[in-house]
Amino acid sequence: MKRKKRIHKLSLAGMVAVLLCLSSCAEQWGQIDPPAGNQVYPRLEQVLNLGFEEDIDPEAIMLAAYEGGNLPQIINDDSLGNVLQLDGGYAQLPNPLLNVKVQNAVSFTFWVKQSAEDNEGALLSFQNVEGSQKMFFTANGQINFNGVDFAQHQSEPSLFTSEEWYYVAVAVTYTGYSIHVNGEKAAERIVTSSDADYASWEELVQFMATAPYLYIGNGSSQQPAEWWLEDLKLYRNTITGKEKATPVKGGGGNAFQEFITVGATDFTTGWWNAFSEVVTTTGNGIVHFKFKNFNSGGTNNWENWLIVITNGKAFEEEGYAEHAVLRSDAYGWGSANNPPSVFISLPFR
């Protein structure tokens, strides 16, 4: 059965959002917003959400097979429900980014499981009509681009092993790329204006935004080994911590994730660097969370989780604002925020 999210309600009027964050010793509260102006900020927008609840529409997605292979098909997986099986086949669909203006990045997320450890075949690709220009992404972290004026090749170690599901989040930006696997950063490349290929990254992003076709399981010279795909999502601009965090998965209609791991369990992530998904609610009600705290083994009282109440925006999303921060050890920033009778302090920003 397809997994479903458990909806929680929070006992605050109106719409709020809850964001869990790993705390550290730094106690800085952010920076003052710049003066208002005429700036146009990149806005994150999801342009594709491809699940496999129903049969594939042949008018929307073209299925094909390699020689001796099989057409992609929807099967039922014990962990994720309906998924797309690709065993010697691939899919082609019109690029959803053609309908929007990409400002600084192209991002995508998906669940993937592969049958082979080293799978150099393309999982996803953007291609022109002839296939002479293309960008493709593989399971071992390759980001390859063959454009008009230049070629780009980035390779990482294999991102995941065989026969296990992984959640992958990739952002390809004007200044490089980042790859997150199961909510943790697996690879990153940042270029600056002094790098020789600095301008090429903008060309790569714009190619991804204007190529006519998006392919699943096609694009590189090597045919992928058998693999499975679920919940492919495509975005214009840069995804945030919300999209990079691993979604709840598996188990049927009432399944939910009892504990959420936020950051490294040895507390090496540090202050304000790891966030859960945002939980949103409207109206009055109650929401329940369970916390299992990890720390470095010392007595530092700041090595605890935080709950951040926001205006509904994800961290780093345009317009993001915080209303309150709840800290597990009742330690406030200043004695006025830490009365002895209060278990959780409310240090307002």
CA angle 214, 73, 155 (to 5 degrees): 45
Using CA atoms, how far apart are residues 49 and 67, in angstroms rounded to an integer? Answer: 29
Q: What's the pLDDT tens digit per position in 144-153?
A: 888 766 566 6
Please report which confidence band the pLDDT of residue 270 belongs to, taking 50, 70 and 90 as the band edges: low
- The pLDDT tens digits of the residues spanning 100-130 come to 999 999 999 999 999 987 677 899 999 999 9
* Tokens matching residue 121: 């075949």
Torsion from C-alpha of 169, 171, 176, 181, nearest 10 degrees: -10
Whole-number Å distance between alpha carbons of 160 and 35: 44
**Burial bucket for residue 233 (CB in 10 Å: 0-12, 13-18, 19+):** middle
Least confident of 38-52, 152-166, 178-192: 152-166
Q: What percent of the chain has pLDDT over 70?
A: 64
Range in 16-25, 37-46, 59-68 the model is least confident about: 16-25
Kindly list the distances between the CA atom of residue 14 and the CA atoms of 9, 19, 198, 292, 310, in Å, as whole numbers in the listed order: 11, 16, 45, 29, 12
Average pLDDT, the chain: 75
- What number is the average pLDDT over the span 76-100? 94
User: What pLDDT score was predicted for residue 291?
Assistant: 59
Confirm whether pTM is higher than 0.85.
Answer: no
Could you tell me if residue 334 is left (phi over 0), alpha (psi between -120 and 50 degrees) or otherwise beta? left
Q: How confident is the model at residue 285 (pLDDT cuts 50, 70, 90)?
A: very low
In terms of Cα–Cα distance, which of 27, 13, 22, 19 is closest to 338? 27
Task: From residue 2, give the alpha-carbon distance in Å to each of 117, 126, 179, 298.
Answer: 27, 28, 26, 42
Specify the pLDDT at position 197: 83
Domains in the chain: ranges and CATH: 1-40+253-349 (no CATH), 45-239 (2.60.120.200)
